[in-house]
Amino acid sequence: MSKSLAKILAALALAGAAGAPARAQAPAAVIDLATAQRMARANSPQFQAAAAALGVAREDHRLARDAMLPSVTYNNGYLYTQGGTGVITPRYIANNAVHEYISQGQVHEDLFAGGAHLAGLSRARAGVALARAQLEIAARGLAATVTGAYYALLAAQSKAGAAAQAVAEAQRFVKLSEQLQQGGEVAQADVIKAQLQLAAAQRAQQEAALALEQSRLNLAVLLFPRFDENFTVRDDLAAAPPLPGFDRLRALAAAANPDVGAAEAALRQARADVALARAGFLPTLSLDYWYGIDADHFAANDPIGPGRLRNIPNLGYSAQATLAIPIWNWGATGSKVHQAQLRRQAAQAQLTFTQRALLANLHALYAEASTARAELTSLVQSAALAQESLRLTNLRYQGGLATALEVVDAQNALIQARNALADGQARYHAALAQLQTLTGSW
């Protein structure tokens, strides 16, 4: 690297270092769980894809409904045929005249399509219900994910705080052991044991800080459209919402479970597919009406006679009714019906399996939430007892009634109890969120 380039880079580095303190960072946003849920829905590609799918399904329903209504088109065309011996008579009989102009509107209506239109409308309605259920599945799954990440961050914060307190406690123990060793009350081994405990606590603090940063990153990815770590979350980790009774949750799951709703909608779609396939066996009746010009001059009136003083109007209309009766297509319609019936059987099996899985998952997740709820009281008591045990052990150590190993064991028991409490609180909140994916909010 040249000296001039090195000087420029050094100058830029100094300028950046000098300007860094002048840039004040914006205050960190405080986010609660409800806000985090809204932010995640706005930025989740899976949720947005499900919302888009619902919009597409609604448009499909509109198309199926409009297919039952008359359609109007306006056609324009010019047909030329090689002329014969005269000016008007064509040599090649393909059209009505040598020059034929078509400019007319057409109204088309399928009066009867073997029930295909009604079946298509029914299928489209089921598609809307299916997309709505899938959107609800995506919303509940995203809510559970955000809740887990939210309380994982709070648990990591609690563990980081406990690790900092453990370092402070280890530092006090080092000072105490050194003072007692200088007075000849304890051996040098106690000082070494205290120093080893301090080093272990400092390493644990570094690991806790790393886990905290990783938890913050995991939540930031879910919340912000542009990566941002400048936020804090409202700490309600210690709050333990009540767990409703199992009968109430079972009723909520039976009434509004999106997985069962999606399976039911898929079954309705499969039934509509069977009706659509069977419509191929039935005749169809359609009506067409045309009004406009179909003449050898592109004009509303065609002058004729001597001096071309008389006008014959070219505007006219025609109507056509078409009855199409299917006779033979080598069993293609029957194969389509059989395929649709097989898909209907698969959809029925999926529905019954989803209903069974709902009951099994409800029992399993309720047991998980109940266990986590029951353990919270014990974890709180254990943390309080560990704190008191450390206090008493320190007093006994100062009085020469306890060993350094007992103090270290008490310190380790306290940090383990605090970490277990944070994990238990986060576990209970996550269990409630998973339970709500089956039942919805209560």
Tokens 């940090």 — which residue? 415
Q: Give yes or no for residue 307 having a pLDDT over 80.
A: no
Task: Provide Rg for the chain, Cα atoms.
Answer: 40
**pLDDT, mean over the chain:** 90
pLDDT single digits (tens) 175-215: 999 999 888 888 899 999 999 999 999 999 999 999 999 99
What does pTM read for this prediction? Answer: 0.84
Over range 326-338, report the average pLDDT: 95
Tell me the per-residue pLDDT of 44-82, one tens digit each, with 9 for 90 and over.
999 999 999 999 999 999 999 999 999 999 999 988 887
Does 440 have pLDDT greater than 80?
A: yes
Identify the CATH number of the domain in which residue 247 sits.
1.20.1600.10
pLDDT band at 311 (very low <50, low <70, confident <90, very high): confident
Give the model's pLDDT for residue 66: 93
Examine residue 164 and state whether it is found in any structural domain, yes or no. yes
CA pair distance 74, 318, nearest whole angstrom: 14
Q: For residue 17, what pLDDT is reported?
A: 39
Per-residue pLDDT tens over the stretch 113-170? 989 999 999 999 999 999 999 999 999 999 999 999 999 999 999 999 999 999 999 9
Number of domains in the chain: 1
Instruction: Name the pLDDT band for 308 (thresholds 50, 70, 90).
Output: low
Counting Cβ atoms within 10 Å, is residue 284 exposed (0-12), middle (13-18) or buried (19+)? Answer: middle
Does position 4 have pLDDT exceeding 60, yes or no? Answer: no
**Cα(194)–Cα(175) distance, rounded to whole angstroms?**
9
Residue 144 falls within a domain, yes or no?
A: no
Q: For residue 235, tell me if it sits in a domain.
A: yes
Q: How confident is the model at residue 305 (pLDDT cuts 50, 70, 90)?
A: low
Lowest mean pLDDT across 23-27, 41-45, 142-146, 274-278: 23-27
Query: Which residues, listed in sequence order, are joined to residue 320 by a DSSP beta bridge?
Result: 288
304 or 41: whose pLDDT is higher? 41
Residue 23 confidence class, pLDDT cut points 50, 70, 90: very low
Six-digit token pair at 224?
């912000």
pLDDT tops 80 at residue 40: yes
One-character DSSP codes across 279-299 = GGGS-EEEEEEEEEEEESSSS
- Cα separation, 157 vs 30, whole angstroms: 15
Q: Is the pLDDT of residue 368 over 80?
A: yes
Summarised one tens digit per residue, pLDDT across range 82-114 is: 776 655 666 677 777 788 899 999 999 999 998
Is residue 325 situated within a structural domain? no
Domain assignment of residue 431, yes or no = yes
Q: Which of 4-8, 25-29, 34-38 has the lowest mean pLDDT?
A: 4-8
Using the predicted structure, report yes or no on whether residue 439 has a pLDDT greater than 80.
yes
Amino acid of residue 357:
A
Mean pLDDT to the nearest integer, 311-318? 88
Residue 2 binned pLDDT confidence (cut-offs 50, 70, 90): very low
Predicted local confidence at residue 6, as pLDDT: 47
How many other C-beta atoms lie within 10 A of the C-beta of residue 24?
Answer: 6
CA 282 – CA 325 distance, rounded (Å) = 7
Mean pLDDT, rounded, for 346-352: 97
The secondary structure of residue 293, as a DSSP letter, is E
For residue 429, what are the domain limits? 38-46+150-280+333-439
Residue 229, in any domain of the structure: yes
d(CA 229, CA 376): 31
165 part of a folded domain:
yes
Let me know if residue 67 belongs to a domain: no
Q: What pLDDT sits at residue 28?
A: 80
Q: What is the pLDDT of residues 226-263, one digit of tens each?
A: 988 889 999 999 998 999 999 999 999 999 899 999 99
pLDDT, residue 299, reads 85
pLDDT-derived band at 268 (thresholds 50, 70, 90) equals very high
